[in-house]
Chains A and B, each alone.
Chain A
Amino acid sequence: MTTTGTARADVRALVARVTGDEKHDPSAHSTLDVVRVLYENVLHVDPDRPDDPDRDRFVLSKGHGPASTYAVLAAHGFFPADWLDDVGAWGSPLGHHPDRVLVPGIEVGSGSLGHGLPLAVGMALGLRGRSPARVVVLVGDAELDEGSNAEAIQVAGRLGLGPLTCVVVDNHSDNHGWPGGIAARFGVEGWATTDVDTRDDARLAAALRRTLTDRPTVVVVDAPRKDAA
């Protein structure tokens, strides 16, 4: 686990360097607390050994909101903070969607929705029996529309992938909603489910730390409405 002890305000300042405005991009905003807590308190990662085969993997599936992940990775020393000042520029490794080939600490290149969770399922399968590493994938509530997620939720549940955690940041941006709740869709497939909100770091960290050996875990994080951010 990293011990940089990044203060909430520091990371918000780094996010502002990406967005160029204190009125944050809503997608980045809704994921910030989750990503910050993951890297501060949950994941076993070391910016000096980004290729350690036993590192925990964080997969940002909703790649259209990478500002918070970029900010947290910079705060933890995966790359220089001045990379945050020209995101999307020709000479910048940081784009509006992250590319794992270009950015230390980015595990999966994302942007097209619905790829992260299936990839995370494969990563958990690949690590199973070989490494103690966890795989934590972050998806959005609207991203769950993509049918590829349904396939992955089913496969992970049936195969009992203990090392896998899916964090659904629910900023209520899905056009058609999820009657009965998001967690229920995972629960019926055999996942362990937890609902939390983003207002309490300790509770969030506890929920994100919880794993079971015989089944994957989903943490549904209630976040401010997208249009209210």
Chain B
Amino acid sequence: MTMRDRFYAELDPLLTAADDAVVVLAVIGSAQAAPAAARHPGRVIDVGIREQALVGVAGGLALTGRRPILHSYAPFLVERPYEQLKISLGHQDVGAILVSIGASYDASREGRTHQAPADVALVAALPGWTVHVPGHPDEVAEILHREVHRDGRVYVRLSSQVNDRPRPTDGLLHLVRDGDPDAPLVVAVGPMLDTVLAAVADLPVRVAWTATPHPLDGAGLRTLAGPAPQVVMVEPYLEGTSAAAVAAALADRPARVLHVGVPRDAELRRYGTPRDHAAAHGLDVAGVRARVASFARTPAVERP
């Protein structure tokens, strides 16, 4: 089951578990949500293809104590109603759970209109948001069932790319592959983990993982990275999205940091498969391996 299908399958349990939860849709996902809508009359609202209303209505629901769960493709959920995220949710000091599909280039055949690799950077630029980038359908369910009982502003980014097994969604950075404590630390975010593990299989690096890049587990990063950090952040969205958070976490020590993600300097005007796009962006096994190997060959900063 994909993350997306798992999300739809969890709607009924979520509405059952949380009396205040309301699902708000803008056509995308409406058919899949029909069984949950039938079991919970009035608690699945489709506003039509109106994404400003999607977020505005969610803000109003939250102002009356409801817990809105919003869903659409990332560009229509984050970019089109961006001011609504800022004003109708953030400025009102209310929360919502946004669940996007499309990731960076899952909609490879649909083209640029359906792709939003800047989504995490945009959401993280607004105050008070938590961004979850799960790597497995079980993580999606775990995150949603926890967040539905809270009241914060949450962005959950689903992708077709998955890891072979679920890992803890506690918001912390977890060491997945240990090694020499002075070796570079490669941080894989969400669904990038299996790609990273394959890419660095024969490289002298350590690998850590998180499903929650924002807010980043800065304390965990400092602990794992050590006194003279060499860190590679591998994120499945806009390259450098976590740069400010990593810099802040490592501000008290000399550090070398490489950010690997979707390049921000050009629009890829090609269709094909998500795998094609990963390769074109250097986010497949070969691309990640080349960047990490080059980084690891560079001499480390001298320890203080």
Residues of A within 8 A of B (CB): 53, 99-101, 107-109, 112, 114-115, 117-131, 147-148, 151-152, 154-155, 158-159
Contacts and interface: CB of A to CB of B under 8 A. Distances in A.
Contacts of B66: 126
Interface stretch (B29-37, B83-91, B193-201, B275-283): B83-91
Given A112-B87, A122-B60, A126-B61, 8 more contacts: A53-B64, A115-B87, A118-B55, A122-B59, A123-B60, A123-B63, A152-B56, A154-B53
Interface string B18-57: 0000100000000000000000001001011010110111
11 contacts: A115-B59, A115-B84, A118-B52, A119-B88, A121-B57, A122-B58, A122-B68, A123-B63, A130-B64, A131-B64, A151-B52
Nearest to B68: A122
A126 B60 contact: yes
A128 B42 CA distance: 9
Contacts of A118: 52-53, 55-57, 59-60, 84, 88
Interface of B: 22, 42, 45, 47-48, 50, 52-53, 55-66, 68, 83-84, 87-88, 91-93
A125 B24 CA distance: 11
In terms of DSSP, what is the predominant structure of the interface of chain B?
Answer: helix
Contacts of B55: 118
Contacts of A147: 52
Question: Which 7 A-B residue pairings sit nearest by Cβ, starting from the closest?
Answer: A122-B60, A118-B56, A126-B64, A122-B57, A151-B50, A151-B53, A123-B60
Contacts of A100: 92-93
Contacts of B93: 100-101
Given A109-B92, A147-B52, A124 B60 contact: yes
Contacts of A107: 63
B64 A123 contact: yes
Which of B53, B60, B91 has the most chain A CB within a 10 Å cutoff?
B60
Contacts of A152: 53, 56-57
Given A118-B57, A151-B52, A155-B57, A125 B87 contact: no
